Amino acid sequence: MKAAELRRRLIPGLHRVLGAFALWIAVFAPAELVAGDAPSDTSPPNIVVIVLDDLGYSSFGVYGATSIATPHVDALAAEGMRFARFYANSTLCSPTRASLLTGRYPTVLGINSVLSGRMGRASLRGIPDAFPTLPGVLRESGYTTGHFGKWHLGVLPRFQPGRRGFDHSVVPAHSRANAGDSYFDRKILVDGTTAEASIGHFTRVVTDRTIAFMEANRERPFFANVWYNAPHKPIMSPRAWKERHPATPAGAYAALVEYADAQIGRLLAAIDRLKLRDRTIVVVTSDNGATTIPELSLNGPYRGEKGKLYEGGIRVPMIARWPGRIAAGSVTDTLHATFDLFPTFADVVGVQTQASEFDGRSMLGVWLGDTTDPPATPPVSDERTLFFESKGSRELRFAVRRGRWKLVHHKTIELFDVEADPGEMFDRSGSEPKVAAELLSAYQQWRVPAARIAYTVEEVRGDAQVEGSAYRLHGGAITLADDQRFNPHDGDFSFTGSVIVDEIGAWQTVAEQPGSWRLAIRANGAPELLIRHPNRDRRARRRGKPREVTLATTIVGAGRIGTDGPHRLGFTIEGNSRGNSLVWLYLDGVLQVTDVLGIRSLSLPGGPVHLGSATDPAESLRGTLRDVAFYVRALDADEMARPAAGSVGSR
């Protein structure tokens, strides 16, 4: 289904701003006000989302900071709601930010690591086209949308803010490291086209641009997405702020957080000056926990830091203010995560959605002090389950949170009662094996369906036919719509399918992505996987010869594909940007061969995937493919052996 179709389904009857206003009025009658003065008019509220970068849980005074002064954020919490159990959807920036804008798990989006902006190693992924975004939905509901600050959700033009629902944007111009440059006098890219030189600290530049955006759009609803780099490394603040603290890493961090707080104060003051306070929602949170600084406990009583799935890596501050709707000084223990923001704002605006369109769930009932029985958002003790994944150098780490329990897998399984043991000091997997088994089973049941790519058939050529979930190729070919999740450059990728071969004795292509990979059957029935990637040898590159790695069954007596099928055929690529990439080839769930690619990244070009040969019908499969499935993750032998349930994609 195309993105435009999804958006039309998300927003029935709300393509004109007056329709959105009317629906909002119907949903929120004055009698529902919780506290404070009534909004000044009946327009949908403005929305300002502020996300800090690598901010630890205890970096604000209201969250326990003792050596950092954050009066503006603390005042915001006193005027709104503070969340005690709020989680980032990842231990890293890009996955969490993608979840915020889509309401989906990072795994669903194929984003489980940082989408690098480094020159020569630019990410080839971003938010997939198939997923509606928060700014896109708000724009179709009559909002003006603007993004200001860090992006890190794809460096290619197709992934820039202007292509993801934002009317206006100000982001750092891409250089050697998108988030690692100096905070001072950075080059910026305005609205995706105009490169400018900015003067001063980037946190102030972002604030200035946001204020100008609010001033220009004060007469209509606006969404301002404010993503500060602070307090990400390199930790830099203006001299006047730096001199307030000792010349230590802890002092530098405190100075930068305090400077960010001052800029948040400027945003809040501008909202008041524009007389927009009563009809503006302001949210402040972080994309993950902080990097460890020995002299400073950044993540409060929690174990771990950025990059780790312990509480210190994913438990973050969250404050929401909405005068007249959210009770001042309120605190909630409900269990929520970053991807809950999209469905919450959809509810606020009045967009009609289905639960299946989001992985997150609305917090609006909690914001409004819902007293229904059962509550729209149950307390933390309910059975809501949250899943987290983090890509290590050679392993996929994961965590599961349900009620008071949390399962963590970092090489081994650990189980913690995070209510009684918030520091995750005591592993309970031995004393509570049933709980550990239940959470592990929940993760195993979630992981493969969540990683599955719902693809679309774009073209059928030659003698190929589509019959439900079966593809009768007969020498023809089927082209699937391009989806960047097919590209293993920035993460894992897998293909599985049941193959029925009409004849053996000629080389046949089962599926391929030209220039990246090709899965075929040899004349003797042996499966073959060809991986193409640039040769790192300079002399070979000058001769125009890419390196090709072929994985094939070479052991006598190993698996073969015959006409007695169906046979399950599949492969997994672990596209590891920090070490050697790994490739596995399976037949009927049995590992045929594996190889380690001696490169730091596959650097494959991506593009449409074809079932059969894209160029030569004579080399296409003479037979049928069933239960074809693609995944944005590595699968093990058991998962490779199981046929995918049902049919996916638009036919």
To the nearest 10 degrees (0 to 180), the angle between helices 71-78 and 249-273 is 50
- Dist. CA 75–CA 272, nearest whole Å: 14
CB 300 within 8 Å of CB 57? yes
Q: How far, in whole angstroms, is CA 35 from its chain's centroid?
A: 35
Taken in order 547, 551, 556, 560, the sign of the CA dihedral is negative
- Dist. CA 291–CA 314, nearest whole Å: 12
User: What is the distance between the terminal CA atoms of the chain, rounded to a whole angstrom?
Assistant: 10
Query: In terms of Cα–Cα distance, which of 282, 322, 315, 403 is closest to 84?
Result: 315
- Cβ within 8 Å of residue 7, ≥6 positions away: 132, 136, 137, 140
Cis ω before 234 (30° cut-off from 0): yes
Buried b (16+ CB within 10 A) or exposed e, 320-332: bbbbbbbbeebeb
Q: pLDDT-based confidence at 7, cuts 50/70/90? A: very low
- Note the pLDDT of residue 27: 40
Q: pLDDT-based confidence at 78, cuts 50/70/90? A: very high
- Note the pLDDT of residue 30: 39
Q: pLDDT-based confidence at 607, cuts 50/70/90? A: confident
Q: How far, in whole angstroms, is CA 470 from its chain's centroid?
A: 31
Quick check: 596 pLDDT over 80?
Answer: no
DSSP H/E element including 611? strand 610-611
Quick check: 38 pLDDT over 60?
Answer: no
Q: pLDDT-based confidence at 120, cuts 50/70/90? A: very low
- What class has domain 392-451? alpha beta
Phi/psi-derived region of residue 485, left when phi > 0, alpha when psi is between -120 and 50, beta in every other case: alpha
Pick the CATH number of 3-359 from 3.50.50.60, 3.40.50.620, 1.10.3720.10, 3.40.720.10: 3.40.720.10
Which of 8-17, 47-56, 638-647 has the weakest average pLDDT? 8-17
Residue pLDDT, tens place only, 341-397: 999 999 999 987 776 789 999 999 999 986 444 455 545 445 699 999 987 656 679
Q: State the virtual CA torsion across 163, 134, 168, 235 in degrees, nearest 10.
A: -100
- Cβ within 8 Å of residue 539, ≥6 positions away: none
- Note the pLDDT of residue 35: 35
Q: pLDDT-based confidence at 15, cuts 50/70/90? A: very low
CATH 1.10.600.10 fits 457-641, yes or no: no
Q: pLDDT-based confidence at 555, cuts 50/70/90? A: low
Residue pLDDT, tens place only, 402-433: 999 999 998 899 999 999 999 999 999 999 99
279 phi and psi angles, rounded to 5 deg: -125, 35
- Note the pLDDT of residue 542: 53
User: What does DSSP say about strands 187-190 and 194-197: parallel, antiparallel, or unpaired?
Assistant: antiparallel
Residues of the chain with CATH 2.60.120.200: 457-641
- pTM of the full structure: 0.88
325 phi and psi angles, rounded to 5 deg: -120, -50
Query: In terms of Cα–Cα distance, which of 61, 77, 57, 81 is closest to 69?
Result: 61
- The residue-averaged pLDDT of 241-269 equals 95
- The residue-averaged pLDDT of 507-515 equals 92
- Note the pLDDT of residue 43: 83
- Note the pLDDT of residue 13: 37
- The residue-averaged pLDDT of 271-295 equals 93
Query: In terms of Cα–Cα distance, which of 463, 454, 486 is closest to 624?
Result: 463
Quick check: 178 pLDDT over 50?
Answer: no
CB 475 within 8 Å of CB 462? yes
Greatest mean pLDDT among 263-267, 443-447, 559-563, 625-629: 263-267
Residue pLDDT, tens place only, 180-232: 468 999 889 999 888 888 999 999 999 999 999 999 999 999 999 999 999 99
- The residue-averaged pLDDT of 572-580 equals 69
CB 602 within 8 Å of CB 575? yes
Q: Which neighbouring-strand residues pair with 626?
A: 470, 498
Residues of the chain with CATH 3.30.1120.10: 392-451
- Note the pLDDT of residue 641: 77
650 phi and psi angles, rounded to 5 deg: -90, 135
DSSP H/E element including 596? strand 590-597
DSSP H/E element including 77? helix 71-78
CB 223 within 8 Å of CB 47? yes
- Dist. CA 418–CA 631, nearest whole Å: 32
- Note the pLDDT of residue 353: 73
Quick check: 29 pLDDT over 50?
Answer: no
Q: Which residue has the tokens 């929401």?
A: 320
Q: Which neighbouring-strand residues pair with 533?
A: 547
CB 534 within 8 Å of CB 636? no
Quick check: 650 pLDDT over 50?
Answer: no
Distances (CA, A) of 124 to 108, 216, 328, 356, 600: 16, 34, 44, 28, 15
Quick check: 164 pLDDT over 50?
Answer: yes
Quick check: 271 pLDDT over 80?
Answer: yes
The tokens describing 212, both together, are 């100008």
Q: Rounded mean pLDDT of the chain?
A: 84
- Note the pLDDT of residue 1: 39
Helix boundaries (H) for 123-282: 134-140, 202-216, 239-242, 249-273
- Cβ within 8 Å of residue 128, ≥6 positions away: 109, 110, 483, 484, 485
User: What does DSSP say about strands 168-172 and 144-149: parallel, antiparallel, or unpaired?
Assistant: parallel
**pLDDT over 70, % of the chain:** 80
- Note the pLDDT of residue 532: 74
Q: Which residue has the tokens 């009932």?
A: 365
- Note the pLDDT of residue 381: 45
Residues of the chain with CATH 3.40.720.10: 3-359
